[in-house]
Structure 1
Amino acid sequence: MDKTDPDYAPFDFVAARQRMVDAQVRPSQVSNPSVIAAMRALPRELAVPDSLRAFAYADNSLPLGEGRYLTEPRVIARMLQVSEISQGERVLVVGAGTGYLAALLATMDMDLTVVALESEARLAEIGKALCFTWAPQVHWREGALAKGAPDDAPYDLILIDGAVRQVPPALVEQLREGGRIIAPICRDSGVTSVCRVLGTPQGSAAQPLFDVAVPLLPELEPAPAFVF
């Protein structure tokens, strides 16, 4: 609509953000006050390209290009809820994309050390711009997602923002003893579940927590096996 039109009214992002929390987040078994407060405050519209800002608070994942997506709000909220975050923990976000999840963590008023790992420079630039204003304490790292960010390890919590077939072993190795990974894992059945992954002497063990519809992270898709 033409901004000179007398009927023109700018989109009310603040009102949309509150509706997102009240209609999507809170009914999805999310009661953590720090999560709710962060989602009420953080402008999600700054985590998407300009052309998608009007859809930033929709209840679905939004395409960011290169096969990447901004995960839908209720899934992000529930992942934070089941993470059972404690004060002062060190957290790594793998596939940080445009920075929304990392910025939420940093604004939860829990004195967290947040490291955001991203391999796509274009997405990272959007994320850095968001965090510059809203979460300047987030530490950005650019590199292969499967390798994690070992220089900042160990971590109490690793969150993977996007679905994977399996958690890369390097991420498990970067957990502090007693640490956990929260990640959407797409099983052989085709069902994707957010899981709590713990390190074990044999590698790792995953406990499904709730089912989701989250796109796979293309970079962490296993290479196809040769069939003779």
Structure 2
Amino acid sequence: MKLLTLFKHIREKSPYAFFLFVLLNTLLTGCESQVTVTPTSTTFKVEKMESIKAREQLVEDSIERQGLQDEDVIEALGNVPRHLFVPDNMVDKAYEDRPLPIGYGQTISQPSLVAWMTELLELEPGDKVLEIGTGSGYQAAILAELGYVDVYSIEIVPELYGRSSNLLGQLGYENVQVKQGDGYFGWEEYAPFDAIIVTAAPDHLPSPLAEQLDEGGTIVIPIGPPGFYQTLWKFVKQDGELIAYNMGSVMFVPFTGAGASEHQEQEPTPE
């Protein structure tokens, strides 16, 4: 078996053994190995049993806390390695059911809330989903992990865009597109969307998002003042009109960009 073929075989079977093999080859030859080690989705998905157990416990806690019922969402919550989406100094807290800071004034949302908001979208195979506020990329990963929707995500902070888009690619999520920009204006190029999920709180529903929602589609969005509890709204478009449902109180980081400076629209009246 040729050396390169052997390297590929070992890497596919066991990434840990692959790195040991590269090290051994270097020691034996007395020089640097000529094989380039490129991170793959496989190496990123190799995790300790403690992490898997922690995710299983997180799923159980989330089902109990939010009353999750969608089996696909529950499975996605258990599959996505949240510890890869948090800063290094927060890894030990990755599977606690609470938001965590990720820098630039932003947070990664509470896992049970991420799952519940995903469930509220009532997604079906073939749906196009727009996410406003990629942040760490965790919500986009949960959506992509479902396996039957196409995800379009927008992040306004350049550094977070770069980090999250790279990680989602390294994890092998091919059904996600991420761009850097102001999510207030949506993503007209790919509109209309079957579902829109917003992970930061404006003080009103951005009209471009309402316009880019397809008939029968759903928007899940927190609306309210910054620094206080907001209301989580679920909008469903019927006959061109948005029917609003009050889903309760939440707390999200404030919307930035255009949504942070326009205050002309009022919070909706629930149906």
The normalised TM-score by structure 1 is: 0.84
> Is 1:136 the equivalent of 2:174?
yes
Aligned to 1:13: 51
Q: CA deviation at 1:193?
A: 2.4
Q: CA deviation at 1:177?
A: 1.8
For residues 221 and 205 of structure 1, the distance between their equivalents in structure 2, rounded to whole angstroms, comes to 24
Q: CA deviation at 1:134?
A: 4.0
Aligned to 1:62: 100
Aligned to 1:7: none
Superposed, 1:1-228 pairs within 5 Å as 12-109=50-147, 111-132=148-169, 133-186=171-224, 191-199=229-237, 204-219=242-257, 220-222=259-261
User: Which moves more between the two structures, 212-221 or 136-145?
Assistant: 212-221
Does the Cα contact within 8 Å between 1:42 and 1:134 map onto a contact in 2?
no
Q: Bigger radius of gyration, 1 or 2?
A: 2
- After superposing on structure 2, the runs of 4+ consecutive aligned residues of structure 1 that deviate more than 6 Å are 200-203
For residues 246 and 102 of structure 2, the distance between their equivalents in structure 1, rounded to whole angstroms, comes to 27
For residues 117 and 154 of structure 1, the distance between their equivalents in structure 2, rounded to whole angstroms, comes to 15
In 2 relative to 1, CA 147–30 (structure 1 residues): closer, same or farther, beyond 3 Å?
Answer: same
- Corresponding letter in the other structure for 1:77: A
Q: CA deviation at 1:184?
A: 1.5
For residues 61 and 162 of structure 1, the distance between their equivalents in structure 2, rounded to whole angstroms, comes to 13
Q: Secondary structure at the match of 1:135?
A: coil
Q: Secondary structure at the match of 1:102?
A: helix
- Corresponding letter in the other structure for 1:112: V
Q: CA deviation at 1:108?
A: 0.8
Q: Secondary structure at the match of 1:12?
A: helix
Identify the structure with the greater helix proportion.
Answer: 2
- Corresponding letter in the other structure for 1:117: I
For residues 172 and 58 of structure 2, the distance between their equivalents in structure 1, rounded to whole angstroms, comes to 19
For residues 215 and 57 of structure 1, the distance between their equivalents in structure 2, rounded to whole angstroms, comes to 20
- Corresponding letter in the other structure for 2:251: A
Does the Cα contact within 8 Å between 2:203 and 2:263 map onto a contact in 1?
no
Q: Secondary structure at the match of 2:233?
A: strand
Name the Cα RMSD after superposition: 2.5
- Corresponding letter in the other structure for 1:213: M
Q: CA deviation at 1:213?
A: 2.8
| Corresponding pairs, count | 214
Identify the structure with the greater strand proportion.
Answer: 1
For residues 184 and 21 of structure 1, the distance between their equivalents in structure 2, rounded to whole angstroms, comes to 23
In 2 relative to 1, CA 203–177 (structure 1 residues): closer, same or farther, beyond 3 Å?
Answer: closer
Q: Which runs of 5+ in 2 are unaligned?
A: 1-47, 265-271
For residues 134 and 193 of structure 1, the distance between their equivalents in structure 2, rounded to whole angstroms, comes to 34
Q: Secondary structure at the match of 2:146?
A: coil
Q: Secondary structure at the match of 2:143?
A: helix
Q: Which runs of 5+ in 1 are unaligned?
A: 1-9
Q: CA deviation at 1:183?
A: 0.9
- Corresponding letter in the other structure for 1:34: D
The normalised TM-score by structure 2 is: 0.72
For residues 177 and 237 of structure 2, the distance between their equivalents in structure 1, rounded to whole angstroms, comes to 25
Task: After superposition, give the CA deviation of every residue in 1:21-72 in whole Å (9 maximum; x if it has no partner).
Answer: 1123443110110001111011111112222222112222111222211111
